[in-house]
Amino acid sequence: MEETNRQVPVTVLTGFLGAGKTTLLNRILTEQHGKKYAVIVNEFGEQGIDNDLVVDADEEVFEMNNGCICCTVRGDLIRILSGLMKRADKLDAIIVETTGLADPAPVAQTFFVDQDVANKTKLDAIVTVADAVHLSSQIEDHHEAEEQIAFGDVILLNKIDLVKDENIEVVTKRIRKINPFAKIIKTTKCGTPLKEILNLDAFSLKRILEVEPDFLESDHDHEHDDDVTSLSFVSDTPLDMEKFQNWFGKLLQTKGQDIMRTKGILNFKDENDRYVFQGVHMLMDASPMGKWPENKKRSSRLVFIGRNLDTMNLKEGFEACKSE
Amino acid sequence: MTTDLNQFPELDKTKFEQRGIQLEIGVPVTCAVSIGNNIAAGFGDGTVRIFSSREKHKTLKAHKGVILCMSRDGNNILTGGDDGYFLKISLNGEINEITNFGSRWVDHVAAYNGNLVCSSGKVVYYWDKNKKEPKSLNHDSTIGGLAFDAKGRRLAVSRYGGVTIWKKDYSNKWKSTKLDWKGSHNKVSFSPDGKYLVTSMQENVLRCWRLKDKLDFAMSGYGSKVKSFAFISDTSYLATSGAIDAICWPFDGEGPMGRKPICLPYIGNKQVTFIEPFPDEKAIFAGLSDGSVFLSQIENENNTIIIRSFTGSEVSAIAMTDDKSSIFIGDMNGNTLWTSIWDQ
């Protein structure tokens, strides 16, 4: 394929009802002077978006016929992005606002699955706006709120002016338990420098090398079995590539529905290159990313976010991939 | 008019380029159709350009945004855009608004004998040529494509989960039948003999129904999405894009089941992105992802000539005039060629 045009970055804005998505959207649109944005909104969304290129979307989610039940994509997004790429004026960025009850996975998966979309646009980051006042109860009551936290690359913890400091701590901890690698930004009225949320390139493999996730001790005493949690593993012992591929491939194939996001840097025995990967459910992007830096210790790091992680024997599986 | 495939002077201009008119418009060409011996082409900035053999091309400012679709209606063209307008445009440049849906895009248009159809979102709007108000035909999901059969009696509407075929019964009421197959169906077409219906899907595959018994089957093996396909020479072949060869499935006799397609190779290993039949011949124009366009005889792969050389941008439109004298080619970067086919 010819790759003459640059890929237009796409930012996905997600967040539960009333968290402040529209406030953030309008902030982006009014503060970025001279930039050309397309905004894709859903027809039931809040009104009042100040932009001359607003496209209504239907949030039509469908399953791909590739034998994978968790591989759902946004059909409307494929159609709209293809249409936008035919425009005469070149767009600086595209922003997709999802409904408050949307699962972000199909949006992310669309960029893995459709070749034309992947050639001409790239998923820049998933930005989740969370309501500091109500997030804890929303997570308890609605699995969508939990999923939106799990998928976020950036989480804007908004409305902190309405919450006591100690409660902000509690909410932050709750977010961290679900998602250890998102950047959390505490805001009032979504006030944050735009460079913190745009052009992050969060889905590029290169970025994974730069962002160190917080490796918290995994906390296992959760109240529900279907809670979204994260688990991370580190090993200085080189891994056996074949063993790892077998284990990981099978794991995604059988548990891909429960595993929402994965990221990792891998140190394989007898390989000079670092291997980096990131995935959304069963879909994965992986590649060698150059030699290990001379001054850095070679170690493998692996993070999972998902449901029922403690039933998957992840620790045992990972240990068994060690080459010694 | 034949050249050996291996002897192309790749960077030289073809004789078609030398004698034709080449423009660098800088805006994607989104569609093109013939109107008699003229070609109308739609662009990403909302303009329509009309090319004719006698005069310089005409540029019309038709839509405010991208022209998403175009169809011929006698001596007019119909266009739909991302500005929500559904327009009828005459050869001499008169623009008439049929309707406008505001912020909703007009995704597909079609016409048969003065009856006009467009789709916007999940609804198909059908204007009987004698009526002012359209009839709305509703569907459960967004429409991927529209097509009349050769006699204009049936209208196929592709969507998520299959195809709905609409037909008026004897009391002039709309009746629909459904052909179901899981997945997202895009472009749809009846075979010219009316025996088959084909869709291209989101996955790299085509789905086909034999209409007499609703037997359905897949045509697969593509490296990318099949964005363009066309029936050739009545219903002898179905020529398709989506691979580095033009894949031509035999549709004569008992159809393509259990038979192998003819694969027409092109130099450079680039993906075929656009197929346009050469009317009444077993021959096709194939446009590639690098902008080159070839004319090939399906049953003689050595009989291939290059019409346009490399431009670096995916071919997105090809149309031939009714008298088969001239063709128009356009790509995603707005490079166009308008040229006569025959040596003078």
Q: Are A248 and A233 in contact (CB under 8 A)?
A: no
- Name residues whose C-beta falls within 8 Å of residue B70's C-beta, 6 or more positions apart in sequence: B30, B31, B32, B33, B40, B42, B77, B78, B79, B80, B109
**Residue A310: DSSP 8-state:** G
Residue A317 has pLDDT above 80, yes or no: yes
Contact between B30 and A62 using a beta-carbon 8 Å cutoff: no
What percentage of chain B exceeds 90 in pLDDT? Answer: 89
pLDDT at A49: 75
Average the pLDDT over A198-217 and give the result. 70
Contact between B68 and A60 using a beta-carbon 8 Å cutoff: no
Return the bridge partners of A306, or none: A229, A259
Mean pLDDT comparison of A99-103, A113-117, B96-100, highest-scoring range: B96-100
Q: How confident is the model at residue A212 (pLDDT cuts 50, 70, 90)?
A: low
In this structure, of A50-54, A104-108, B8-12, B223-227, the range with the lowest mean pLDDT score is B8-12
Higher pLDDT, A41 or B317: B317
Residue A224 has pLDDT above 70, yes or no: no
pLDDT at A4: 45
Residue B9 has pLDDT above 70, yes or no: no
pTM of the model: 0.88
pLDDT at A2: 39
Find the distance separating the first CA and the last CA of chain A, reported in whole Å. Answer: 42
Q: Are B273 and B286 in contact (CB under 8 A)?
A: no
Measure B223 CA to nearest chain A CA, in Å: 10
Average the pLDDT over B321-333 and give the result. 96
Facing residue for A65 by CB, picked from B44, B183, B314: B183
Residue A226 has pLDDT above 70, yes or no: no
pLDDT in tens, B254-306: 999 999 999 999 988 899 999 999 999 999 999 999 999 999 999 997 899 99
Residue B136 has pLDDT above 90, yes or no: yes
CATH number 3.40.50.10900 given to A8-203: no
Task: Give every strand in the sheet of A300-307, ordered side by side.
Answer: A228-235, A300-307, A259-266, A273-280, A283-291
Containing H/E element for A315?
helix A314-319
DSSP SS3 for A107: helix
Q: Give the C-alpha distances (Å, rounded to integers) separating A170 from A157, A159, A164, A246, B98.
A: 12, 15, 10, 39, 58
Which structural domains are found in chain B, ordered by start? 5-340 (2.130.10.10)
pLDDT at A126: 95
Contact between B66 and A115 using a beta-carbon 8 Å cutoff: no
Q: Are A274 and A288 in contact (CB under 8 A)?
A: yes
- Residue A189 in contact with partner chain B when CB distance is under 8 A: no
CB atoms within 10 A of CB B223: 12
Residue B155 CA to residue B174 CA, distance in Å, equals 11
pLDDT at A102: 87
Q: How confident is the model at residue A217 (pLDDT cuts 50, 70, 90)?
A: very low
Average the pLDDT over B65-87 and give the result. 97
Measure A92 CA to nearest chain B CA, in Å: 17
* Residues in B touching A116 (Cβ below 8 Å): 225
CB atoms within 10 A of CB A172: 17
Q: What is the mean pLDDT of chain A?
A: 86
Contact between A115 and B203 using a beta-carbon 8 Å cutoff: no
Find the distance separating the first CA and the last CA of chain B, reported in whole Å. Answer: 13
Q: Are strands A93-97 and A8-15 parallel, antiparallel or unpaired?
A: parallel
pLDDT at A218: 44
Q: How confident is the model at residue A44 (pLDDT cuts 50, 70, 90)?
A: low
Residue A215 has pLDDT above 50, yes or no: no
Residue A194 CA to residue A199 CA, distance in Å, equals 9
Average the pLDDT over B109-126 and give the result. 96
In this structure, of A46-55, A182-191, A280-289, A314-323, the range with the lowest mean pLDDT score is A46-55
Q: Which CATH superfamily is domain A214-319 in?
A: CobW-like, C-terminal domain (3.30.1220.10)
pLDDT at B268: 82
Residue B6 has pLDDT above 70, yes or no: no
In this structure, of A171-185, B108-122, B150-164, B271-285, the range with the lowest mean pLDDT score is A171-185
* Residues in B touching A65 (Cβ below 8 Å): 182-183, 201, 203
Contact between B312 and A64 using a beta-carbon 8 Å cutoff: no
Residue A47 CA to residue A70 CA, distance in Å, equals 32
The residue among B76, B83, B138, B144 whose CA lies nearest residue B113 is B76
Task: Return the domain boundaries, chain A.
Answer: 8-203, 214-319
Facing residue for B142 by CB, picked from A58, A85, A86: A58
Residue A5 has pLDDT above 70, yes or no: no
* ipTM associated with this complex: 0.90
Locate A141 and state its tokens. Answer: 């009551």
